[in-house]
């Protein structure tokens, strides 16, 4: 697996968003968490850009941890790599004896390594076993979801996680085919989707299998459920003045991130109070106007940056006890 293919998305903008928190003077070195280590591109840049910072990096994929460990080895004990899902951040920090952190970065979705490793089954452009687990040591793969879930549940998943308008049509074809022979490889699923969709649906939105593969991946890895817990947990882990930056790649993730950050930045006082008590004041200040997009130049250099949406916020107040 070559690391040269891996280009971190919106890297400089992420560093700029986190910089004020990681460069501020304090009694102890600042701690920054990369909740989605992947191949370590963002982590390496954080360590290089902020030479006093300590990095805690999480990933559920053991192969990613191995490869990134090699990449980050020159930074010695400034980098602590942990096998964990990002909603486990509070437990990880507790184990390490770190009460609060100054920066948190999320780069959501499937990593470049997972897309590029053919046998992981994430990419619909090549034939591979239908696995899609980010942590291959646990849980069930995409083939088992396709072969065993009731039709109604499959329709729900394709609609909710893939925003697939043709979910019923695709699931009918899947159920018919799985009775003849269980699904095991991605090429057969891609072919089935092509045959199931009406011609009009084939003309828009790129590869017609894209939404189904996204939906299966989110289901297999519990991504949205994990994210619902992870973003609020990350916000709670920030010290006052600390900053969070989140890169999303599809509307479901971005909507969830937007809701959590907007809620934290809202005044929650009942209407009509002449003076707003401290407990109703916002805990966050938004650092981005809506979601920031990659530049045209970046998308030209790195096509995987195209769907990226970046949001950031700063912790401005502690939670009420």
Cα–chain center distance at 32? 17
Give the N- to C-terminal CA distance of the chain in Å, as an integer: 48
Q: Give 107-125 as a DSSP string.
A: E-S--HHHHH-GGG---TT
Q: Give 199-237 as a DSSP string.
A: HHHHTSSSSTTHHHHHHHHHHHHTHHHHHHHHHHHHHHH
Cβ atoms of 35 and 56 closer than 8 Å: no
Using CA atoms, how far apart are residues 9 and 15, in angstroms rounded to an integer?
11
Residue 42 marked ligand-binding: yes
Residue 86 marked ligand-binding: yes
Using CA atoms, how far apart are residues 256 and 185, in angstroms rounded to an integer?
31
Residue 161 marked ligand-binding: no
Cβ atoms of 169 and 175 closer than 8 Å: no
**Which residue is it, tokens 């849980």?**
139
Using CA atoms, how far apart are residues 67 and 39, in angstroms rounded to an integer?
6
Give the count of beta carbons closer than 10 Å to the beta carbon of residue 75: 16
Angstrom distances, CA of residue 263 to CA of 240, 267, 282: 17, 8, 8
Q: Are strands 54-59 and 79-83 parallel, antiparallel or unpaired?
A: parallel
Give the count of beta carbons closer than 10 Å to the beta carbon of residue 317: 14
Residue 83 marked ligand-binding: no
Using CA atoms, how far apart are residues 59 and 82, in angstroms rounded to an integer?
7
Residue 41 marked ligand-binding: yes
Residue ranges at the known binding site for S-adenosyl-L-methionine: 40-42, 59, 86, 107, 114
Residue ranges at the known binding site: 40-42, 59, 86, 107, 114
């Amino acid at each position: 697996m070559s690391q040269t293919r891996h280009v971190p998305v919106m890297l400089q903008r992420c560093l700029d968003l986190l910089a004020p928190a990681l460069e501020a003077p304090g009694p102890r070195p600042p701690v920054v968490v990369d909740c989605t280590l992947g191949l370590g591109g963002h982590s390496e840049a954080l360590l290089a850009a902020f030479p006093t910072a300590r990095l805690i990096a999480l990933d559920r994929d053991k192969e990613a941890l191995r490869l990134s460990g090699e990449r980050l080895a020159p930074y010695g004990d400034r980098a602590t790599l942990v096998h964990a899902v990002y909603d486990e951040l509070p437990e990880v920090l507790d184990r390490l004896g770190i009460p609060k952190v100054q920066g948190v970065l999320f780069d959501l979705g499937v990593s470049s390594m997972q897309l590029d490793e053919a046998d992981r089954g994430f990419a619909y452009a090549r034939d591979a076993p239908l696995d899609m687990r980010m942590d291959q040591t646990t849980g069930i793969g995409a083939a088992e979801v396709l072969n065993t879930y009731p039709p109604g549940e499959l329709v729900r998943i394709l609609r909710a996680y893939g925003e697939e308008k043709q979910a019923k049509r695709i699931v009918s074809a899947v159920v018919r085919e799985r009775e003849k022979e269980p699904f095991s490889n991605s090429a057969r699923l891609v072919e089935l989707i092509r045959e199931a969709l009406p011609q009009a649906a084939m003309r828009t939105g790129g590869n017609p299998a894209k939404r189904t593969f996204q939906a299966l991946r989110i289901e297999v890895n519990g991504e949205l459920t994990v994210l619902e817990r992870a973003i609020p947990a990350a916000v709670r882990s920030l010290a006052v003045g600390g900053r969070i930056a989140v890169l999303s790649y599809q509307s479901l993730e971005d909507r969830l991130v937007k809701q959590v950050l907007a809620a934290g930045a809202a005044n929650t006082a009942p209407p009509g109070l002449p003076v707003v008590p401290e407990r109703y004041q916002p805990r966050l200040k938004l650092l981005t106007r809506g979601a920031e997009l990659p530049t045209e130049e970046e998308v030209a250099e790195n096509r995987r940056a195209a769907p990226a949406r970046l949001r950031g916020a700063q912790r401005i107040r502690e939670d009420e006890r």
